[in-house]
Chains A and B, each alone.
Chain A
Amino acid sequence: MVFLMFGLFLLANIPDQTVFVKRTKLFAQPAFWPILSIGLMTVFAALHAISSFVSPRLDGRWQEVTFWLRSLEYVIWFMVYVAIVPLAGYLFSTILFTVTITYRLGYRGRQAWMAATGSAVVIVILFKSFLQVKVPGGEIYELLPTALRSFMLTYF
């Protein structure tokens, strides 16, 4: 239902954000598809809203909302990870991320640590060293001696 409110809110914004270009047919107008899609979205959202108001309410709706909100914690963890990669380098930040989150989730003991570190190293080696995906080197690599630095920049 929260999503429904969001949908309806978005619909209220239609007219401000699209442009009608002169001397162009309706079907080629840049505003044609946004208007069509938002129009359809309004109709369906309204129908969906009516049907959910008609159907009996379930207990535990607010518990469900807390479940959604609890996911935001992991959004923050994820964004912190995104922020530290360019600073600490891909390998180091990934190990830090998996180990911290594993600890946060309540897994303790040597096996959990090993699993977290091991999977981080495997992921980095697979994607960065082997598949060469585009992840920038960390700023701390600048502190390394030249030969090691270029190695780290290329592979980790």
Chain B
Amino acid sequence: MDALFSGLDLIARWDVFLALMVGSVGGVIIGAIPGVGPAVAIAILLPTTFAFEPLVGLVMLLGIYGSSMFGGALPAILINTPGTAVNALTTYDGHPMTKAGDARRALALAYSASLFGGLLSVLALILLSPLLAMIAPHFGSREIFLAALMGIILVVLAHRGQIFAAGMLAAFGIFLNTVGLEPVKYTQRFTFGQDWLQSGFDLIVVVLGLFALSQAFVLLVQKDETPHPQPVRGSLLNAMKEFLGHKRVATVAGGFGVMMGMIPGVGEFTAQFMSYTYAQKTSKNPDAFGKGSPEGLIASEAANNAVPAAAMIPLLALGIPGEALTAMMLSVFYVHNVIPGPQLFQNHMDFVYALYISMIILNLIVIVFLLSSTNILIKIIQIPTRFLGVLILTLSFVGVYSLRNSVVDCAMSAGFGVLGLVLKRLNLPVVPIILGMVLGGIMEVKLRSSMARVKSPLDFVDRPIAAIIAVMILIIIGLHIRTMIIEHRNKLREDEISHDVEDSQMR
């Protein structure tokens, strides 16, 4: 309890509050503009936050992360274009409601579901934290190594249908991290004798290239588009009351969000898929899903908003980021020499609580902002997309150049920008590269330090948590192979029966 109060004390400062305001309001706006997601914004702001204290910088980035999905629901519902990638499912039921003249109702439901998901996850985490503080110290090098390994495996397997590509890109990320002068034996790795490769590839340079510059290039080369949504009339607050009738779906969806957020490499999409399926299966009106079902909308929004708070768990407790945004936040910690991990939960519980409390405040600021300024936001999102590209390009420059005023960094970043553009156009994921870079670095260090005490391979898993994680990895791979075999068999059977395919087999 003491930690909770001293956490409150930590955030009761004007600069933290200002960062929270800027982060949350900025996050909503960024989320609402199709074409700019939280990843672009966090990548650009990252170098700027290095000048702040860790808490101030983190609160701002967390604000953007947590609030962008609130904003992203707005264009998803009004113009059938998700503001951020994780709002894609919201378009299924949100936009049909707008077409039926129910835009206000859809927005109100999305906002309240988002708020509910966000608050539920923070509360769950505050309650879970003491437990985590008990478990965290049992995580040594090999446990963290295994957890990072599990994160990589999960992020690869999560890209169904593109596993080979995701595996290739994750390995590429691990490789990128090894380039340069290696700090233990001082040998050169893949520098080809070039001076500019000595210091390797900076994560921020890569992130800015892959997320921000690539997006700018895509927008600049594409045709111009200006969305023109209709303004929303009437009080959103009154319309939010309908949400109270869907508490069950929202709670389950939020629960899935929390669980999936905590597992590195899984994230929003899986949580949304699970909660949407659950909502449809248990609904009294399953046929309405995809045609404007309020339950579908709530399942999607409550699940994705429950993820950010939960995703902070592996980051804070183990120092393992589960996806690209938390991977970027990890660098804020490193710059300030605060190493997230078990010690953070043991010794700086107040810091952890401060982050959680700011997430609660963030949700409240966002909802007040949205209720009062939805129509202003509708005006803001009408920026022509190519001009948006110019703005992202200009802002990316500050991000890369301010790191160390290096032209080489800018060129590298532009190179990664083109790579990101190609990957985006090919529909291949960018996230495995970033996670490969971050988790690859963690695995290298942790494997080296843990092997010192390991004599035989079985020694590696002779501690309970290490054994549990190792078994989990085996189960994950096993389950995946099983699904692949089942799908393959179904496909063969479908070929045999050819026309007479039962609906139940279709997914």
List the interface of chain A (C-beta within 8 A of B): 2-3, 7, 13, 17-19, 21, 24-25, 27-28, 30-31, 33-34, 36-38, 40-41, 43-45, 47-48, 51, 64, 67-68, 70-72, 74-75, 77-79, 81-83, 85-86, 94, 97-98, 101-102, 105, 107, 112, 115-116, 119-120, 123, 127, 131-136
CB neighbours of B390 from chain A (8 A) = 98, 101-102, 105, 116, 119
CA A132 to CA B52, docked complex, whole Å? 11
B154 on interface, CB distance cutoff 8 Å: no
How far is B475's CA from A149's CA once the two chains are assembled, in angstroms? Answer: 66
Q: What 4 pairs between A and B have smallest CB-CB spacing?
A: A44-B168, A41-B171, A37-B174, A44-B167
A-contact 0/1 string along B218-256, CB 8 Å cutoff: 101100100000000000000000000000000000000
**B346 contacts the other chain (Cβ, under 8 Å)?**
no
CB distance from B10 to the nearest CB of A (A): 22
In the bound complex, do residue B174 and residue A28 qualify as a contact, i.e. CB atoms below 8 Å apart?
no
B353-376, CB < 8 A from A: none
- Assuming the contacts A17-B190, A131-B51, asked whether A3 and B418 have C-beta atoms less than 8 A apart, the reply is no
Question: B387's contact among A18, A30, A67, A115, by CB below 8 Å, is which?
Answer: A115
Is chain A's binding surface mostly helix, strand, loop or mixed?
Answer: helix
Query: Which of B78-86, B108-116, B309-317, B403-411 faces chain A?
Result: B403-411
Q: Of the candidates A13, A21, A25, A44, which one forms a contact with B171 in the assembled complex, judged by CB atoms under 8 Å apart?
A: A44
Listed in ascending order, the chain B residues whose CB lies under 8 Å from chain A are: 47-48, 51, 164-165, 167-168, 170-172, 174-175, 177-178, 182, 184-185, 187-192, 213, 216-218, 220-221, 224, 384, 386-387, 389-391, 393-395, 397-398, 401-402, 404-405, 407, 410-411, 414-415, 417-419, 421-423, 425-426, 428, 436, 440, 443-444, 447-448, 451
Most buried by A among B167, B168, B386: B168
Expressed in whole angstroms, the Cα–Cα distance for A38 and B48 within the complex equals 34
CB of B394 within 8 A of CB of A94, answer yes
Q: List 15 A-B contacts (CB under 8 A).
A: A2-B422, A18-B189, A30-B182, A33-B174, A33-B443, A37-B171, A44-B164, A64-B425, A67-B425, A78-B410, A119-B394, A120-B394, A127-B398, A133-B51, A135-B405
Report the Cα distance A70→B51, complex, angstroms.
36
Q: Known: A19-B188, A37-B171. Contact between A68 and B421, CB under 8 A?
A: yes
Contacts of A136 in B (CB 8 A): 405
Closest chain A residue, CB of each to CB of B413 = A78
- Which one, A21, A37, A86, contacts B440 given CB within 8 A? A37
Complex-state Cα separation, A83 to B88, whole angstroms: 39
- Chain B residues whose C-beta falls within 8 Å of the C-beta of A38 in the assembled complex: 171, 175
- Contact call A78/B397, Cβ cutoff below 8 A: yes
Among candidates A30, A40, A132, A135, residue contacting B189 with C-beta atoms closer than 8 Å: A30
| Given pairs A40-B167, A101-B390, A133-B402, 10 additional interface contacts (CB within 8 A) | A7-B168, A30-B184, A30-B185, A37-B440, A38-B175, A71-B217, A74-B389, A79-B411, A101-B393, A105-B220
Overall SS of chain B's interface: helix
Shortest Cβ gap from B233 to chain A (Å): 28
Closest A residue to B400 using CB positions = A82
Shortest beta-carbon distance from B43 to chain A in Å: 14
CB-defined contacts of B422 to chain A, threshold 8 Å: 2-3, 68
Bound: A34/B164 CA distance, A: 19
Which of B164, B170, B443 has a CB less than 8 Å from the CB of A51? B164
Are A25's CB and B451's CB within 8 A?
Answer: yes
Q: Which of A3, A51, A85 has the most CB of B within 10 A?
A: A3
Q: B387 contacts which chain A residues (CB < 8 A)?
A: 102, 105, 107, 112, 115
What is the CA–CA distance of A33 and B189 in the complex, to the nearest angstrom?
10
Residues of B within 8 A of A131 (CB): 48, 51
CA distance A53 to B213 in the complex (A): 30
Q: Which residues of A contact B418 (CB under 8 A)?
A: 68, 71-72, 75
Query: Within the assembled complex, what's the spacing in Å between the Cα atoms of A119 and B391?
Result: 8
B165 CB contact (under 8 Å) in A44, A81, A134, A135: A44
Residue of B nearest to A20 (CB): B187
- Measured in the bound complex, the distance between the Cα atoms of B224 and A83 in whole Å is 28
Q: Which of B164, B404, B428 has the most CB of A within 10 A?
A: B164
Q: Pick from A27, A41, A98 the residue with the most CB of B within 10 Å.
A: A41
Contact A133/B48 with A17-B189, A30-B184 known, Cβ cut-off 8 Å: yes
Q: Which residues of B contact A123 (CB under 8 A)?
A: 391, 394-395, 398
Instruction: With A31-B189, A105-B387, A132-B51 as known contacts, state yes or no: A70 contacts B178, CB within 8 Å.
Output: no
Residue contact A82 to B48, C-beta cutoff 8 Å:
no
- Distance in Å: Cβ of B166 to nearest Cβ of chain A: 8
Contacts of B192 in A (CB 8 A): 17
A38 nearest CB neighbor, chain B only: B175
Which B residues lie within 8 Å of A97 (CB)? 394
Contact of A3 (CB < 8 Å), options: B404, B414, B419? B419
Contact A37 B178 (CB under 8 A): yes
| A116: B residues at CB distance < 8 A | 390
B48, A33: Cβ atoms closer than 8 Å: no
